[in-house]
Amino acid sequence: MGEILLPLLILCPLAASMIVSVSAGRMGACAIGTVACTGVGISAVISIILSITLLSGPPAGVLQVTLWPWMHIAGFSADIAFMLDRVSMVMILVVTIVGLLIHVYAAGYMRDDPGIARFFGCMTLFVAAMLVLVLASDLLCLFIGWEGVGLCSYLLIGFWYNDPANTAAARKAFYMTRMGDVALLCGLLLLATATGSLRIGAVLAAVTNGQLAPSGVNLAALFILVGALAKSAQIPFQTWLPDAMAGPTPTSALIHAATMVTAGIYLIARLHDLFAMATPIMALTAILGTLTLLMGACTALVQSDLKRILAWSTISQLGYMFLALGCGVWQAALFHLMTHAFFKALLFLTAGAVIMRTGHEQDIFRLGGLRHAMPGLSAAFAVGASALAGLPLVTAGFYSKEMILSGVWHVHFGLTREWTLSGHPLWGIALLGAFLTALYIFRCVFIVFCGKKQGTSATGRTSRLMSIPLGCLCFLSLCGGVIEMPDTLPPLHLFSTLLDPKTPLSHADEPIWLVLAGALAPLAGLGVAWVLWGRATPVMHEIPGQAAIIRLARTGWGMDALYDRVFVQPFRLLTWLTHHDVLAHAITATGRLTQAVSGRIFQARTGFLDILSIWGSRGTGWMAYLLGQLDNGRVRWYAAWIAGGLCAGLAMAVLS
């Protein structure tokens, strides 16, 4: 049965995408939403059935299906093949279940948009591409899904293409992620050359057996890391994700919060044996993740656009996942990936409902006091904010973030025999990031929902079609993390045991103060946020922007300006030169100049020869005249010339 259900899992959203796209203009909005939700819903049911089937088998059981051979050449082979194990099982459940909730929400959110068929065609195609990515057993097949989600992201960011800003944001995302895709392809080619295959099992076995030299392992891991950094919007590729909020809010929830941006985390977790052999790259991954989570939190703290706050928050939370991957606790990274999908989708969808009911107003300082007009949305946003901040014991975000912090505390990077890097400084920065996370998200909660009523007022009601997914995501954001608890609490390690039954992630010697620190940091952030923005007379309205560092943070730390000067402007200059055919004009002008100089040289040469011939003829005439004067027939003059010449010759002979 699994051999049939596994391809059907991908085929259902793909078929829904084709039906919706082909029948555009012939189906109503309700029918389009029904077809799209049905396709993703069937995939969600199949995912649950396949998960039950996999878990009921042996602990190391894997379901593999090869649809057809792709290429078989000397020394290399690749197939269109899919594999379901416990890692990919977690991913398909997240993609299909969260995707289904977002599709149901989008059916109500986009019902009045004239491009609803194009929207759902791209959304369901994205789900199919994401499923190909997470189920592929061959890295080349995975690359197809990798490029598919990038294409769908481009189409959905620029969905409202009448606005030039939206198309510019789509192009920016496309270019930035394509740079990472080139690096990823280089890494895959390097692995294919060294191992003769791109099947994930064969590649990992070759790396484990020492078939690749350490330098080759490090280089391949570095190329793959660059591809993952670009796809997951980490330093230095983070600038595209905030601009990607130009797309519809369901797009932001599905692609840029719950699934596509986590593709890089999944790829590194899938190849964790390869990265475990590349210690310098692991350390680099952890450091970049730490810097990204701190930078993203600081930037979100000074933003005023509601969706951009959530976008920078996504970048920061992805930094936590990269930190966990770099420290070797890939189970914690996947756990946080799952909980982050729950609460970040909830935050984006709630923000979309708020923006819709306030006349598409996104500036948090023009919103205020909305808890009276929107009590349900206020509660949903507060639940999502609490899970994002990781309020202890009552939210899923606390357990996943605590799992990351405990893993970071215990790690040590043996870079060389003499130099070992401890994870304690990284843990301290991650704890500071947890404080800042609670500070910026509850700043948003207090200003938008608990502050004084501003000029913008709420209208209408949130439809039931949009409310049901919000309720489900609230439940998952609160209770989705109790499957993995630290050892200082009632020890429960269902998630890590599910991923790796042989070696579940556990820290029995973890001190209790470590858990207390992880619990107090978000509570401290909540308290500071309440003092600054939550009281009836808030201490601070907007963070002052006079300081240069604040202005720099609001512009994304100047990375856009840097990229504009280093890459965009030179490229535009090259484009302008090509468009105006400056090179051809330069060649033509050079030819004309050469022709003119050649003509001048010819004229000068001709004049010089004319002058030379004239003076030569005149000199010849003068010589003839002089010889004529000497040849006068007087013998004594001839004798005198002979005597004079003889004397001169004798004098020269004597002197020499």
Non-local (6+) Cβ contacts of 245 within 8 A are 252, 256, 305, 307, 308, 310, 311
Contact 160, 245 (CB under 8 A): no
- pLDDT above 60 for 556: yes
Tell me the Cα Rg of the chain: 37
Q: What is the pLDDT of residues 569-602, one digit of tens each?
A: 777 777 777 776 777 777 888 888 888 888 888 8
Mean pLDDT of the chain: 85
CA 146 to chain centre: 12
How many beta carbons lie within 10 A of that of residue 22, not counting itself?
11
Which sign does the torsion angle of CA 375, 378, 383, 384 carry?
positive
**Res 476: pLDDT:** 93
- Residue predicted with more confidence, 618 or 521: 521
Q: What interhelical angle do 464-479 and 99-109 show, nearest 10?
A: 150
Dihedral-angle region of residue 75 (phi above 0 means left; psi in -120 to 50 means alpha; beta otherwise): left
Residue 483: φ, ψ to 5°:
-85, -5
Contact 100, 120 (CB under 8 A): no
CA 180-185-187 angle, 5° bins: 95
pLDDT-derived band at 605, boundaries 50, 70, 90: confident
Q: What interhelical angle do 512-529 and 396-409 show, nearest 10?
A: 130
Residue 553: φ, ψ to 5°:
-65, -40
Contact 322, 274 (CB under 8 A): no
pLDDT-derived band at 539, boundaries 50, 70, 90: low
Question: 446: number of CA atoms within 13 Å, CB side?
Answer: 24
Q: Which two tokens stand for residue 466?
A: 């949009």
CA distances from 45 to 1, 8, 52, 248 (A): 14, 11, 11, 26
- pLDDT above 70 for 546: no
Q: Which two tokens stand for residue 605?
A: 């040469």
Cα separation, 272 vs 331, in Å, equals: 10
**Res 350: pLDDT:** 93
- pLDDT above 60 for 545: no
> Judging by DSSP bridges, how do beta strands 76-84 and 484-485 pair with one another?
unpaired
Cα separation, 141 vs 7, in Å, equals: 14
Cα separation, 92 vs 13, in Å, equals: 13
Non-local (6+) Cβ contacts of 557 within 8 A are 295, 299
Dihedral-angle region of residue 233 (phi above 0 means left; psi in -120 to 50 means alpha; beta otherwise): left
Q: What is the pLDDT of residues 204-261, one digit of tens each?
A: 988 888 888 888 899 999 999 999 999 998 988 888 888 888 888 899 888 877 788 8
Non-local (6+) Cβ contacts of 24 within 8 A are 117, 118, 121
Question: 248: number of CA atoms within 13 Å, CB side?
Answer: 26
**Res 393: pLDDT:** 87
Cα separation, 144 vs 21, in Å, equals: 21
Q: What is the pLDDT of residues 483-513, one digit of tens each?
A: 888 777 777 778 888 887 776 666 656 778 8
Non-local (6+) Cβ contacts of 77 within 8 A are 69, 71, 196, 197
Nearest to residue 478, comparing CAs of 351, 385, 349?
A: 385
Q: What is the pLDDT of residues 36-67, one digit of tens each?
A: 999 999 999 999 999 998 888 787 778 888 88
Query: Residue 444: what residue type?
Result: C
Considering the entire predicted model, what is its pTM?
0.85
**Res 542: pLDDT:** 65
